[in-house]
Homo-oligomer: A and B are copies of this chain.
């Protein structure tokens, strides 16, 4: 049994996304998701606490990627260099074969206010975790929060471009471009 767990997790996730996309998130029941892959509701709940979790599974690992990038930064890197490295590193965590899943997930979130709110809170939590990691490195406030929020904004914008229909560049490539835009923007300040 145990060796099938990851497969069941992925099959449930794929089936759920399909159902959410085609019938709506609110309208889809856990029983329908389980049935679509020949499993029971009980099995579903072994992997996910509720259907929202299908969309937001892996939040901790997601934040962890960024924090690992911060931990790996050179000790003399500036706050924005640290954040840039972490965001580019997180970009590599989303390879080509995740793009289609991420796109479908985004469509479901965009059409469900409750999920949009949850996604916003997730990004706010990410920014808070990055800022705290910067402060732990000795970065003073408000530089830590400014750098963290800038990085998360670049990530969000880049992610949106990456999953856009017809997009071909890798997420890390897009992120580099958006960081360049951020630099150009700031060069024209005050």
Contacts known (A117-B117, A120-B120, A120-B124); A146 close to B182, Cβ less than 8 A: yes
Considering only residues 134-162 of chain A, those with a C-beta below 8 Å from chain B are 141-143, 145-147, 149-150, 153-154, 157, 161
Contacts known (A120-B121, A188-B81, A189-B182); A157 close to B146, Cβ less than 8 A: yes
In the complex the two chains form, is A157's CB within 8 Å of B185's CB? no
Contacts known (A121-B120, A124-B120); A142 close to B178, Cβ less than 8 A: yes
Whether A181 is near chain B, meaning CB under 8 Å from some CB there, is: yes
- Residues of B contacting A120 in the complex (Cβ-Cβ under 8 angstroms): 120-121, 124
Per the bound structure, the CA–CA distance linking A101 and B73 in Å amounts to 42
Could you say how many copies of this chain the assembly holds? Answer: 2
- Residues of B contacting A147 in the complex (Cβ-Cβ under 8 angstroms): 185
Per the bound structure, the CA–CA distance linking A94 and B55 in Å amounts to 40
In the complex the two chains form, is A190's CB within 8 Å of B186's CB? no
Contacts known (A183-B186, A189-B183, A190-B183); A178 close to B80, Cβ less than 8 A: no
Whether A92 is near chain B, meaning CB under 8 Å from some CB there, is: no
Whether A78 is near chain B, meaning CB under 8 Å from some CB there, is: yes
User: Which 7 pairs show the lowest CB-CB distances between chains A and B?
Assistant: A186-B186, A78-B188, A149-B153, A142-B157, A183-B189, A80-B189, A120-B124
In the complex the two chains form, is B157's CB within 8 Å of A145's CB? yes
Shortest CB distance A30–B (Å): 25
Contacts known (A84-B190, A190-B84); A146 close to B79, Cβ less than 8 A: no
User: CB-nearest residue of chain B relative to A124?
Assistant: B120
Per the bound structure, the CA–CA distance linking A147 and B179 in Å amounts to 12
Per the bound structure, the CA–CA distance linking A183 and B187 in Å amounts to 8
In the complex the two chains form, is A81's CB within 8 Å of B189's CB? yes
Contacts known (A117-B117, A121-B120, A157-B142); A190 close to B81, Cβ less than 8 A: yes
